[in-house]
Structure 1
């Protein structure tokens, strides 16, 4: 059964982090992302390219475009309510048999692919995982935004990595072995001090961006691999491939019918083929496909 839903964004009532780890991780993102943005476009870029040149404006545009996507996708991931509380869940004798469970915490029936999050204290529609960097769960309605958030973080840090190498190696005066320690162990900068030089602070930002590039790269590989298989994290652990509808349809399930726009612009509305409650399975999808031939 295919159900299309043109629903506007429903904002979560409680958007502040509910645990200390969420608060710390989210604060780190809110501080380090603008800081690295400033470093790349106002320190590194003018040092490598002369202001007013075509090359300068191309890289300046790309930096702002990536930042726009990072901020937009992060914001929608945090604000979007993807819990079962956002709507009245229809339950009848026909649907309650397959995949529905009674959540003792919510004291309500939870539809298929939904699980309770103890941190958010609610059941999440098609719950993938709880993200400490956004302070909320990733589920049916904000899955697209989370994936694009980590993708553009990776793209931005990888893009900056190329230019940062030219900038850092030309600015930093290395002293063996102290400088090597500072590069390999970023926190050693706080132990040994900045030596009264702003270059040491630049080195710290460089190292943070490299670590961020590696971390978000691994996340992208892991989560996009799940998407291509039609899975969320919990289903992968249980090896449940019931909702694998094929490569193309699996992408539509997350990014919606305008997926080609959703990949490049977080502000584009892309209607999802399901409501987060009633799902097609691999068997039912195959039967419907054969009937339409």
Structure 2
């Protein structure tokens, strides 16, 4: 993995979003395993141990995939020396901002100030672009976030609704505006703090669920956001090949840990299209 030299967020929105992730993920982790879990299962019991291990498994994957997403350099910077003298050919173009020839499926990001290999989008929660080299880690990051928030939601319902004394309409206001109620001191109790974390996890579950549906559909159809928006399906080579393009040759175990090596199919410069792929199959 080639590490990005500048990993700090470059905009205020990136900084605030990354800061939110870096604060809320450890808070939710603490809340679930050290507050909710001991209330549901006796400490040291079989189910307590099972849930504690699974919770840590999810946390390792969330933190690990987030870290690799942020650290992976998926730009053309490390390739400029090898491609700057290349001639513009089919699918290649000259980027005036980078002053280099950019390969197919790469687009310039004004925030990152470079062209990104197989650029999908700029993610404000990681402060970087999602491209060829970190696509796998981003997909696994949102997948494990969705699993973790859904898992939390199921058990939080038992805990939260047992500690809240429902009083209409005050309880409705506390549920709709949990952060404002807590921050401005209208109710700074632990119960309100726990309710705030519960609401955040519910919103996170819905948000990451929508992200998973959108981005995994892109992966299976062999597209990135730009190509989908422009109706470009020429890189769709079948679901398995598309998944290997994003997750690597060992795609079926990449969900286990971010530290598992899964070699990508190429260097992100040369791409087969479905027309050339079919012609190669016919000529075999």
Q: TM-score, normalised by structure 1?
A: 0.93
Q: Deviations over 1:203-251 (max 9, x none)?
A: 0000000000000000000000111110000111111111000111100
Distance across 2 between alignment mates of 1:191 and 1:58: 35
Which of 264, 273, 276 is matched with 2:265 structurally? Answer: 273
Change in CA separation of 1:192 and 1:26 when aligned onto 2, cut-off 3 Å: closer
1:243-262 pair list within 5 angstroms? 243-262=235-254
1:138 matched residue in structure 2: 130
Q: TM-score, normalised by structure 2?
A: 0.96
The offset of 1:76, in angstroms, is: 0.2
Distance across 1 between alignment mates of 2:177 and 2:96: 46
Distance across 2 between alignment mates of 1:27 and 1:135: 10
Unpaired runs of at least 5, structure 1: 1-8
Distance across 1 between alignment mates of 2:182 and 2:49: 35
The offset of 1:92, in angstroms, is: 4.3
The offset of 1:289, in angstroms, is: 2.2
2:117 matched residue in structure 1: 125
Cα-Cα RMSD: 1.3
Residue 102 in 1 paired to residue 94 in 2? yes
Aligned length: 282
Residue 159 in 1 paired to residue 151 in 2? yes
The offset of 1:104, in angstroms, is: 1.3
2:175 matched residue in structure 1: 183
Residue 225 in 1 paired to residue 217 in 2? yes
Which of 34, 41, 44 is matched with 1:42 structurally? Answer: 34
- Tell me the SS of whatever aligns to 2:178: coil
1:56 matched residue in structure 2: 48
Unpaired runs of at least 5, structure 2: none
1:289 matched residue in structure 2: 281
| Alpha carbons 2:160, 2:194 under 8 Å: kept | yes
Distance across 2 between alignment mates of 1:186 and 1:150: 24
Q: Which deviates the most, 74-83 or 189-198?
A: 189-198
Q: Deviations over 1:34-83 (max 9, x none)?
A: 00000000000001100111100110011000000000000000000000
Residue 206 in 1 paired to residue 198 in 2? yes
Distance across 2 between alignment mates of 1:195 and 1:118: 43
Change in CA separation of 1:192 and 1:78 when aligned onto 2, cut-off 3 Å: closer
| Alpha carbons 2:68, 2:134 under 8 Å: kept | yes
Residue 23 in 1 paired to residue 7 in 2? no
Q: Choose between structure 1 and 2 for higher RCO, CA contacts under 8 A separated by at least 6 residues.
A: 1
| Alpha carbons 1:194, 1:200 under 8 Å: kept | no
- Tell me the SS of whatever aligns to 2:48: helix
